[in-house]
Amino acid sequence: MADGTQHDRWYTAADLAGLPGLPSSDRRIHSRAERESWQRRQRERGKGFEYSFSSLPPVTQAVLLLRDRPAPLAARRRNTLAPSEAHLRSVWQRYEAAKQSMKDMAAMRLQTLDTVASLVRGGTSLMDARQIVADQLQREGVRGGSAASIARWMQDVAQADRKDWLALLLPHYSGRTSTAEIEPEAWELFKADYLRQEQPTASSCYDRLERIAAARGWELPSLKTFTRRIIRELPRAVRVLAREGEEALAKTYPAQERDRSMLEALDGVNADGHRWDINVRFPDGSIGRPCILGWQDLGTGKLLAWRLGDNENSDMVRLSFGDMLRAYGVPGSVYLDNGRAFASKWMTGGTPNRYRFKIREEDPTGLITTLVGADNVHWVTPYHGQAKPIERMWRDFCDRIAKHPAFAGAYVGNSVANKPENYGSRVVEWAEFERVVTSEIHAHNARTGRQLKSCAGRSFDATFAASYARIIVRKVSDEQLRLLLLAAEAVKADPITGSVHLAGNRYWTEALSEHAGRKLVLRIDPWHLQGVAHVYALDGTYIAAAECTAAVGFADVNAAREHARGKKQYKRAAKDMLAAERLMDAASVAAQLPDMTPPDAVAAGVLAPVFGLHAKKPEPAPARATGSEGPSALDLLMFERAQRMKENQL
């Protein structure tokens, strides 16, 4: 193409082939030029001819004018350099934050440019390719899919890498950004009403605000404006905390996923208690829901030891922990529930917890602390089931044991609103309850197909056995097992004989004479208080085994505990009944009596005069010689006035 103005330019047949209004091959271009006598000249370089712009058809001239029109200086400057790294980071951040509909539109634009490029590679001119694709987009109902739009999209990605085209083609339309104005005080009132734990609906808050606005003379936008602003300006965490509380907020934070596959058997155990949803008749004849306290191996998921009872207490913790030590050995670390049964100083004395912030020197070292070590006793988050894997096992027990066919009719449901229709129709005997629970726990440990990483489809029993065979087990001696017996509060030996007393039972042996008047610790089987008690010094030194010499107390600690509980319940019941009958004291009654006021004056239906009260009745006049006595002048005046009043009333 020669230099000069547009009308002075010359084009070869190759330049013109395929343009609108012209043939698509060089040979046919030459034939048409010969037939229509186009103005031509010899090419300055090479063979052949060049044809003048003025000889071309009008449609071709228009295309050439649009195609060869020089771009604005700013546009040429924008496309000469590739987008900067900062700009690309910005557009990708904008792409990530965009809605899916906007991302779909960017993908459609990218596909459009790919189609145009394919047509051009196939021999179609760029402008024809744009028009062909634009026509197809319009037939498909794509909004804004014109040839000019395609040209702008190509301009947007010019000089950019192909991998960044998707973000660069994202539409710049941001939607509606203007919002109706809300009176600042009205907005604060709406927030104060809406962000309450009673969780009022937005519509009820808006209705109350409308009544206030009517009195204040405010103009309120629609309810939708308020709800959109709540969602836009208040993060979800703030809304959940204000309307549902801290516990609901904690649930919105993803739980930590912990990998236990690297733990071997007894590397760590976790313990917790669970109350069954079953009505059971205890050995003493009372009826209630029993508890289970268990120890689960962390690495393999097997339930190693458990005890059943009426309530979770330190005795169950001690005995179940002893069962685990006797059967398997000492664990490397323990993860305990924050209940008071585990926090007993006889179990975990020497380690701080939420009930024991200060450790005193005279406090005995707890059993678990002694065997495991203070650094290996861990307290899980209170009231947070996700912190203990054993909670997952309790959920299985709620389905597979609490709803066992042997307990049909005794299941009471896990909440007041979730009770079966046959609720309370049966009570399970304690012996039957123990038998079924023990059998089902063994079945739980033996069930195959476990999804735990360390199990890989095996049962908890098989996984634990394989790991147990590879580790070094720390077993406890008979002397250490004595620590698992009941630990009473430090008792003081008799200052003369050295004997000690527990729950009304007296224990003595000759070795206690050397400890007369000192504080000692007794450990004994909780189910046989009248047996042998093992006596220790406060520092844990074993003294001797003392026989029960005066079996005058209760049969066991549970009986003593039941008696104390019954007495406390009796006193509480009496106080509750008194409080129910006497809801007010005398001062409250006196305060309720209203002050008496004089009654209002009563209006008469008819008023009548009273004669003779306005003045002293005159003395009788002396007898006259002539005439007779008649009414006085005052009487006549009063009579006339009474007559007029009567006439007025009529």
Is pLDDT larger for residue 173 or for residue 318? Answer: 318
CB 134 within 8 A of CB 150: yes
pLDDT tier for residue 1 given thresholds of 50, 70 and 90: very low
pLDDT of 302 higher than 90: yes
d(CA 197, CA 472): 54
Summarize the confidence of residues 104-131 as an average pLDDT: 87
d(CA 402, CA 521): 39
Of 271, 276, 274, 343, residue with least CA distance to 303:
271
Domains delineated in the chain: 6-71 (1.10.10.10), 97-168 (no CATH), 184-251 (1.10.10.60), 269-468 (3.30.420.10), 485-558 (2.30.30.130)
Question: Tens digit of pLDDT for each residue in 65-81?
Answer: 666 655 444 444 444 56
pLDDT tier for residue 364 given thresholds of 50, 70 and 90: low
pLDDT > 90 in the chain, percent:
27
CB 279 within 8 A of CB 287: yes
Question: Tens digit of pLDDT for each residue in 165-191?
Answer: 998 998 877 666 567 888 889 999 999
pLDDT of 456 higher than 80: yes
> Backbone phi, then psi, for 353, in 5-degree steps?
-150, -170
d(CA 303, CA 326): 14
d(CA 531, CA 523): 11
pLDDT of 261 higher than 50: yes
Note the pLDDT of residue 135: 86
pLDDT tier for residue 434 given thresholds of 50, 70 and 90: very high
The mean-pLDDT minimum among 277-291, 325-339, 484-498 falls in: 484-498
Is pLDDT larger for residue 143 or for residue 222? Answer: 222
Please state the pTM of the whole predicted model: 0.51
pLDDT of 583 higher than 70: no
Of 547, 496, 490, residue with least CA distance to 517:
496
Note the pLDDT of residue 78: 45
pLDDT tier for residue 34 given thresholds of 50, 70 and 90: confident
| Secondary structure of residue 24 in the 3-state scheme | coil
Is pLDDT larger for residue 172 or for residue 401? Answer: 401
Note the pLDDT of residue 560: 58
Hey, CA dihedral for 461, 385, 343, 413, is it positive or negative? negative
